[in-house]
Every structure is written in structure tokens, then in C-alpha cells.
Amino acid sequence: MLRVKVLGPGCANCARLKALTAEALEALGVEATLEYVTDQAEFRKYGLMMTPGLIVNEKLVCAGRVPPANEVMTLIANVLAEKEAN
């Protein structure tokens, strides 16, 4: 099961990224936990300098912007492919 986190202070862009991520997970048919993290100590843990941030399986895959829906799907699919390759 994937662990996915959206990091951000609670802004509209963060909420948008969380919604896009939930849609992408559903479209991909992937079982995952999706968390929304507002703790700035967590931001530093992942090296996030600008929000929002997208973390998939403890890996920062996007930061400082809200990617289009198809890119969110690709980012998640890439982590899945990497996980299966190992």
C-alpha cells in the first residue's frame, strides 16, 4: 500500500493538490493512505522549501506548485513502477 502525503500550510493550492491526488489514486485503482500534513517540521524533514509538496512513499516527488492531474498520475505511477522494480 502506498503512503501519500500532501504537505502545506492549509492554503487553496494545498487543498487542490490533495483533491487531485485523491482523484489520481482512484483513477489508477491504487490502494493508498492519503494524509494532509501542516506541521512545518515535517516540511523540513523532506527538504520542502516551497509548498505545496507531494510525498509518495516517503519521497518528495513535487514541490512548490500544483501539477496538472495527468502529471500527478504520472508521478504516482513512477513511484509504483520503481517499487515493483525493486
pLDDT of the residue at 42: 94
- Helix H or strand E encompassing 18: helix 12-28
- Number of helices (H) and strands (E), helices first, in the chain? 3, 4
Q: Which residues of the chain have pLDDT under 70?
A: none
Domains of the chain: total:
1
Cα 19 from Cα 67, distance rounded (Å): 12
Q: Which residue segment(s) compose the domain that 28 sits in? A: 2-85
Read off the CATH number of the domain in which 75 is found: 3.40.30.10
Using alpha carbons, list the distances in angstroms from residue 5 to 10, 16, 40, 52, 85.
Answer: 13, 13, 13, 10, 22
pLDDT of the residue at 45: 96
pLDDT of the residue at 29: 95
Rounded to 10°, the helix 69-85/12-28 angle is 60
Cα 61 from Cα 55, distance rounded (Å): 6
pLDDT of the residue at 83: 83
